[in-house]
Chains A and B, each alone.
Chain A
Amino acid sequence: MFEFFLHLSPLIGINIILAVSLNLINGICGQFSLGHAGFWAVGAYTGAAYSVYGALPLPDELNLIISCGLGFIAACVAGLIIGVPCLRLRGDYLAIATLGFGEIIRIVIMNTDAIGGPRGFSGIPKWTNLFWVSLFVVITVVIIANILRGTHGRAIISIREDEIAADSMGIYTFKYKTLAFVIGAGFAGLAGSLYAHYTQFLHPNGFSFMFSVIILLMIILGGLGSITGSIVGAIILTLMPEVLRFMGETVSQWRMVIYSVLLIALMLLRPGGIFGKHEFNPLTLFKKKGEEA
């Protein structure tokens, strides 16, 4: 039991980083992204490519930090490339566009032979352990929490609250949307590199759109916009399959069905409660009221 938990806890940490970083984009900035698995993949493959092909003759710990840093940077760049065109879109259109980009990333990986293509990428050294994961979780949470309690963070939140009002307060909304998107992508990349050096094997199918949905479920479960909520959500959803496994083979097999029912029930029972009062696209809220032209 203890060993089993020891195996699981790095995964919990990695999922916490993923959930908190997605929450920065979806819950805190209000930009609905469904492409988080794509940034995770960019980080994972970049970090793994470094350690497989170009690792410097340094201690493992330092190499892990470097590969995480590279994963972070690569995902930031991907976030910038995807964010700048996509963030002009709103609401469900943004969701679909990011989903599309996430899938394109996966298909490109699938077609790149040097990183394993459809066979998967193996031979990655096992550098990640509980200590490093914990450290990176703390760093991620502290950095994001500190940003949020400063003027840049407030600007990011103001976009979720009311983009037009934010603009009228002299806040360059597009800049801050992009900032939130890029930082969120970056931390997903970091989580990716940690993941690569923990499982030692990557397969493009592990980074499908379905995983973006699972991260989304974590932050919805915890409460959109709440960092502590994301942490709790990530812990629950990482442990759930294992808990279900204890409840017997049948229950465990049905876990994806259970997840989906959970997702629907959450939305039906607390559609307003979890989201608070605000809509993601403040414009749609006001559109209906039929103001004077």
Chain B
Amino acid sequence: MSEDTMYFFWDLGQYLINGLTQGSIYALVALGYTMVYGIIKLINFAHGEFYMIGAFIGYYIILAGVPLYLAFPIAMLGSGLIAVIIERLVYRPIRHAGRIPALITALGISLFFQYLGQMLIGADPKAFPAAIEEKTYIFGEIMITNIQVIILVATFVLMVVLWWLVNHTRIGKAMRATSYNHDAAELMGIDTNKIISFTFFIGAALAGAAGVLVGMYYTTVEPMMGLIPGLKAFIAAVLGGIGIIPGAVLGGLTLGVAENLVVGFWVSTYRDAVAFAILIIILLIKPAGILGKNRKEKV
């Protein structure tokens, strides 16, 4: 093997590691999108903001001296509760008004949190406190940090917990039933409003965890940080098949890897265009997503 090819593979490995790390973050946020869409057919545009909120809760409590292992659950709980409040106050009344009014409302919520954050915290990026010391491990030419390892492990653990919750608990069964057929679930005595609130809670908690992880990874947080990752996580959800939980994970990892390959081997300034291009291609070729089934419209 020539030296060039060797370096190509080292680079490839590095981009894959970075891509998987980035993709894990997307996947965590995408899960919330997909769960909420699955249950009430709403593209929750404001979902990226729960990620931002999680990051800021993490920022403040770590600054206050709370250890990292406690900061995680607190940030998750905080994002989740805010999401539940928003669902109760805004999304529930609008639920039956049709999809477009609901979409516009979600846009409104998104703007609200971004600009409220700017007013309360300030628009400038804040340095995320170093909760643990960063260490770099080197394998050949590939570098991997302990923070990347934490992100990958935390994502994996959260996904296993989610999988267990959805497939092996009563409430998970109720969630699946509500998502499958809202009215029938109601008739079977499931309190669908409660289930929907719970879905928002879980989705936002996962996004909140992603927010803390990304704060550690990129070491800065700011009020607009949820916008682009939020959109990309949505793209990831669509890519995998919106409404399908494993699809969100697949979509998130695929998107993260694809982005890092483009940035690595081509130009970094087109990073965001890649995601949107993927979105458009998938919408045009297979709107139901990689794992989705195409459905015929009834007349």
Residues of A within 8 A of B (CB): 32, 85-86, 88-89, 91-93, 95-97, 99-101, 103-104, 107-108, 110-111, 164, 210, 213, 216, 220, 253-254, 256-257, 259-261, 263-264, 267-268, 271-272, 275, 279-281, 283-284, 286-287, 291, 293
Contact = CB atoms under 8 A, between A and B. Distances in A.
B43 A108 contact: no
A97 B100 contact: no
Nearest to A254: B119
30 contacts: A32-B100, A32-B103, A89-B287, A92-B103, A101-B280, A103-B231, A103-B273, A107-B272, A107-B273, A107-B276, A110-B269, A210-B111, A216-B104, A220-B104, A254-B115, A254-B119, A257-B115, A259-B111, A260-B110, A264-B90, A264-B108, A268-B93, A268-B94, A275-B101, A279-B100, A280-B98, A281-B99, A281-B100, A283-B298, A284-B98
B270 A107 contact: yes
A53 B280 CA distance: 33
B97 interface: yes
A213 B97 contact: no
A263 B98 contact: no
A257 B298 contact: no
B298 A286 contact: yes
B12 interface: no
A15 B291 CA distance: 42
A257 B273 contact: no
Interface in B104-128: 104-105, 107-112, 114-116, 118-119
A284 B231 CA distance: 24
A76 B238 CA distance: 28
Main secondary structure of the interface of A (DSSP, over half): helix
Nearest to B96: A271
Contacts of A253: 119
Contacts of A267: 94, 97, 101-102, 104-105, 108
A213 B114 CA distance: 14
Nearest to A287: B298
- Measured as residues with beta carbon below 8 angstroms from the partner, the interface class of chain B is 35 or more
Interface in B59-118: 90, 93-94, 97-105, 107-112, 114-116, 118
Given A104-B273, A264-B90, A280 B99 contact: yes
Given A93-B283, A96-B283, A101-B276, 6 more contacts: A100-B276, A101-B280, A216-B107, A264-B105, A279-B100, A287-B298
Contacts of A271: 94, 97-98, 101
Given A271-B97, A272-B97, A260 B112 contact: yes
Nearest to B120: A257
Contact of A111 (B102, B231, B269, B280): B269
Contacts of B280: 85-86, 97, 100-101
A9 B142 CA distance: 58
Interface in B253-299: 267, 269-270, 272-273, 276-277, 279-280, 283-284, 287, 297-299
Contacts of A85: 280, 284
Contact of A92 (B100, B267, B277, B297): B100
B234 interface: yes
Contacts of B102: 267
Given A216-B104, A267-B108, A271-B97, A164 B276 contact: no
Contacts of A216: 104, 107
Nearest to B273: A107
